[in-house]
Amino acid sequence: METVKYLLSEREMPEFWYNIVADLPVPLPTVLHPGTKQPIGPADLAPLFPMALILQEVSTERRIEIPDEVRSIYRQWRPTPLYRARRLEKVLDTPAKIYYKYEGVSPAGSHKPNTAVAQAYYNKQEGVKRLVTETGAGQWGSSLAFAGALFDLEVLVYMVKVSFNHKPYRRALMETYGARVVASPSEETASGRAILAEHPDSTGSLGIAISEAVEVAVQRDDTRYALGSVLNHVLLHQTVIGQEAMAQLEQAGDYPDIIVGCTGGGSNFAGIAFPFIGAKMRGERDVRVVAVEPAACPSMTRGKYAYDYGDTAGMTPLVKMHTLGHTFVPSGFHAGGLRYHGMAPLVSHLLQLGQIEATNVQQLETFAAGIQFARAEGILPAPEANHAVAAAINEALRCKEEGVSKTILFNLCGHGHFDMTAYTDYMAGKLKDFEYSSEEVAMALAGLPSVG
């Protein structure tokens, strides 16, 4: 019998998160204070995050132990299955072997609870009562709402307005878990009111929603901010994905030649790829790693590697990353979790070092790939995950053209059960591709902060 899924027992779940910072050949550029533009210290981040997460953010230790309470919650859905996409391979008639790690089995339906549970745990340990965050497609908001329910924390979510309107069921899930969800930009914050005064019909962006969440978080001592991507500690928590995939591929007697991951802020890409990139940097095994982003929000492929704010209002620390400019507001395409103006500093740094490569795909191609995948494998991917599916299919077809067999691994970071409006619109011919002119990109980059 041909094995389709590779499973680990709960005892085989990772006991540590992997910190890729320990293996970087060149250190990350310094994080700067948004006001002084001087290197930031732990005290500057204390109004936003608990000290345990701040220490993880700056850690250079290769392994950071996962607390027992977090691991016990992880066991609700971890380890997640690794699938060999045998039916898709046959449909494509490719000599390539395709594997995908499926994170859609989590309670919230994506990879995001891997960090949501950890962040809720550390905040609870330090006496925090309320968490405030932003969300694009709603997967992160759903995950933090779920984690908040587990740890009896109040959760407030600023949801990008276009997704708030597109995804009522994702909103309902957050409310079921007990969170309050507000469409962003809103009248509840000074930053939201400023955006609405200038753009009354604004569809919102992750940068705007982050500004609102950060503004609210710093107003009360019992409140902290939680972020679903971009920062080092968030990417760290996701590395359980890649560590499990390594063990499962060992079961299969295989190792990837190519790893593909969709990228918006970088969390699910880091989760699947960082353990393998670490092995590559340590000289253990080689692998080609491809980060895939939307053509409608191309921070890595058309943005600039520069210091920028993580939010629209300029309240967050300055980090060096691939960015389209913090004032960039992407079009309302359906992969809401990838509509972010910047890329995680760690992912950006690896691209600069030549450890990974980046590409982008258009919206219509991703939905076509998602439907082809669903008809072959039976799982309907989230629109964000479709970017990885499309790139993996392209790699498999390249193998077919070249007559070579390569092993391809990608992260199917979430299911599309709350995204049926997007699929309905695609099948009705209502969706279109978005492309930004060089002039539009240049205008967005013109507002980058000046850093000496």
The H or E element spanning position 54 is helix 51-58
Task: Pick the closest to residue 6 from 201, 249, 326 (CA basis).
Answer: 249
Residue 331 has pLDDT above 80, yes or no: no
Q: Please tell me the least confidently modeled range out of 67-76, 329-338, 407-416.
A: 329-338
Q: How far, CA to CA in Å, does 415 sit from each of 170, 225, 412?
A: 12, 26, 8
Average pLDDT over residues 283-301: 95
Distance CA 328, CA 303 (A): 11
Residues above pLDDT 70, as percent of the chain: 98
Task: Pick the closest to residue 314 from 164, 131, 137, 450 (CA basis).
Answer: 450
What is the per-residue burial (b if ≥16 Cβ within 10 Å, else e) of 112-148? bbbbbbbbbbbbbeeebebbbbbbbbbbbbbbbbbbb
Query: pTM for this one?
Result: 0.95
The pLDDT value given to residue 417 = 94
| Residue 420 Cα to chain centre, angstroms | 21
Q: Is 16 exposed, middle or buried (0-12, 13-18, 19+ CB in 10 A)?
A: middle
The pLDDT value given to residue 180 = 97
- Angle, in degrees to the nearest 10, between helices 206-217 and 190-198: 150
User: pLDDT band at residue 115, thresholds of 50, 70 and 90?
Assistant: very high
Average pLDDT over residues 220-225: 95
User: pLDDT band at residue 335, thresholds of 50, 70 and 90?
Assistant: low
User: pLDDT band at residue 336, thresholds of 50, 70 and 90?
Assistant: low
Residue 337 has pLDDT above 80, yes or no: no
The pLDDT value given to residue 333 = 60
Residue 331 tokens, joined: 């079009």
Q: What is the rounded average pLDDT for all residues in the chain? A: 94
